[in-house]
Amino acid sequence: MTALAEGSSFLLLLFVAMPMKYLMGMPRVVTVVGAIHGILFLGYVAQLAMLRTKHQWDNRFSFYAFLASLLPFGPFLFDKYLREKEAATGNPYRLPS
């Protein structure tokens, strides 16, 4: 859920707020959406750290989870990967074998 909220806020920032700032002269939109995105990003990273510890994820898998938050559609792809893994194994948080 956090990943989807963070990913949505990133897309909103990139494809709505930034064009509004540069094409319509409305910089306040970036300030507001950017602040919301920043809070959601910190929540994503905090949740990632918690899940890494709880499920003993290795550095590589954790890095990919973090990298997903930096790419525009990354959180959605990572969430899809975890959902498919859950459907196949019953546990989305176990490391891939």
Q: What is the extent of the structural domain holding 57?
A: 2-89
65-93 pLDDT tens trace: 999 999 999 999 999 988 888 888 877 77
For residue 23, is it within any domain? yes
35-62 pLDDT tens trace: 999 999 999 999 999 999 998 888 999 9
For residue 38, is it within any domain? yes
Flag whether pLDDT at 16 surpasses 80.
Answer: yes
22-36 pLDDT tens trace: 999 999 999 999 999
Flag whether pLDDT at 96 surpasses 60.
Answer: no
Q: Distance between CA 46 and CA 24 in Å, rounded?
A: 35
pTM: 0.86
Burial 48-63 (b: 16+ CB within 10 A, else e): beeebeeeebeeeebe
Q: How many domains does the chain have?
A: 1
Q: What is the pLDDT at residue 10?
A: 96
For residue 37, is it within any domain? yes
